[in-house]
Amino acid sequence: MKLAVIGAGWAGLAAAVQATRDGHQVTVFEAARTLGGRARAVPGTLPDGRDVLLDNGQHILIGAYTDTLRLMRDVGVDPQAALRRGPLTLQFPDGSGLRLPRLPAPLDALIGIALARGWPLGARLGLLREALRWQMAGFQCAPALSVAQLCQRLAPPVRQELIEPLCVSALNTPAAQASAQVFLRVLQDALFGIPGGSHLLLPRQDLTALFPTAAASWLQQHGGTVHAGTRVMQLRAEGPRWQLDGLPFDAVLLAASASESSRLLVESASTAPNLIAPSMHTWAATASALRYEAITTVYAWDHNAALATPMLALRCTPDAPAQFVFDRGQLGGPAGLLAFVVSASDAEREVLQGQVLQQARTQLGLNLQAVQTVVEKRATFACTPGLQRPPQAIAPGLLACGDYVAGPYPATLEGAVRSGLQAVARLPRTGT
């Protein structure tokens, strides 16, 4: 098939690579000049005048991201070189918190919980009881349940220092508002799934280089085409085929943002056949109803700044909003560059930056200079209980993929990649 993919984020590029492997002729259109969507590189300058590549958000991967890791290998990226692998660690600067040992799952999680520092024995036993209860229930719960309700029997230190940081990092939604069912799915895959599924994989290079650039190069080497800086303005149904700005295609995958995909569909529906126009309007309405959470990443620097480990958890309060800090100097970046992550952020950029710099002084004893503060206002959809997400199938030959499309995962890189692969699986194979 002659296939168009609109959007060169991780979902779109995953779909394009898989579709090419399946024998389709693929053309990718990306409005931005930098590939990667909401996980991409951005340029910056250190206070000493050196240029540096940052990211629009400090992302991490975990060992359970099997499809993402496989695709990275397929396009020539070596995950062992590109990612720093280590056991799941959610430790604070004083050494308290959780660190899983290098043991098979789920033994690593159970022993890690039992040996967690800073939690009373009763709190640790309570968490173990709940974890076993979740496992016995098949990691299923009532769809309307929030993470806070799911974990209400846990001791306050466990909720504050484990559940809430895990929830906001995985779902980018506060525990009181986040879907317990999606949270349980994340725990199932990470802690009770494959060996090494809970391992943290921290990028040693910028996010565009981690997969998008290699994927685009692979596509071009295998007959595909990638048009960066090219926004698709018009999508039209022409019989069994589709036209993008006058170019004919057998099928189209919408891998752009929910808002951009909705724009194309609403405009296209006005001239579409009556048989498919209602489904296009319904999809656009569902996508437009999604609510979003922001993620703010504050990059700060001092030439002597260094953390004990590449990633530390921070004690988060309304006046100290960052949940995690990463030492980019230990991850292939310049020495002294730290990245502070404020998930589900809602304050103004300048306010957050000032609060984070004060948090660094108070909790890390570091007097840092701001480098750049990146606010991704629509970083993820709000992953709330019972959320209705737009479906993958829209009309014959027209499908959507992205981390916001209906599926069991929150807005993560793996969720985006799997969505792209699932969309391609719905296309006819060559010769069928």
Q: What is the DSSP string of 241-274?
A: EEEETTEEESEEEE-S-HHHHHHHHHHHHTTS-T
Torsion (CA) 154, 156, 162, 167 in degrees, nearest 10? 80
Residue 164's identity, in one-letter code, is: E
Q: Which two tokens stand for residue 237?
A: 């149904």
- Structural domains in the chain, sorted by start: 2-36+211-290+387-425 (3.50.50.60), 41-84+201-206+292-381 (3.90.660.10), 93-167+179-193 (no CATH)
Q: Which residues pair with 98 in a beta bridge?
A: 90
Q: Which residues pair with 85 in a beta bridge?
A: 201
- Class of residue 187 by CB neighbours under 10 A (exposed 0-12, middle 13-18, buried 19+): buried
Q: To the nearest whole number, what is the mean pLDDT of the chain?
A: 95
Residue 229's identity, in one-letter code, is: G
What pLDDT does residue 69 have?
98
CA nearest to 392, candidates 403, 381, 382, 406: 406
What pLDDT does residue 429 have?
66
How distant is the alpha carbon of residue 380 from its chain centre?
A: 8
Residue 189's identity, in one-letter code, is: D
What CA–CA distance (Å, rounded) separates 78 from 306?
A: 27
What global pTM score does this model have?
0.95
What CA–CA distance (Å, rounded) separates 417 from 228?
A: 20
What CA–CA distance (Å, rounded) separates 391 from 283?
A: 7
What CA–CA distance (Å, rounded) separates 64 from 195?
A: 9
What CA–CA distance (Å, rounded) separates 149 from 104?
A: 30
Low-confidence stretches of the chain (pLDDT < 70) are 429-432
pLDDT digits (tens, 9 = 90+) for 87-146: 999 999 999 999 999 888 888 888 999 999 999 999 999 999 999 999 999 999 999 999
- Using CA atoms, how far residue 240 sits from 1, 115, 220, 293, in Å, is 12, 61, 27, 38
Q: Which residues pair with 227 in a beta bridge?
A: 29
253 neighbors 12 (Cβ within 8 angstroms):
yes
Asked if omega into 385 is within 30° of 0 (cis), the reply is no
Q: Which two tokens stand for residue 172?
A: 């980018």
> According to the 3-state scheme, what is the secondary structure of 47-96?
CCCCEEEEECCCCCEECCCHHHHHHHHHCCCCHHHHEEEECCEEECCCCC
- Using CA atoms, how far residue 416 sits from 64, 401, 427, in Å, is 14, 7, 18
What CA–CA distance (Å, rounded) separates 181 from 173?
A: 13
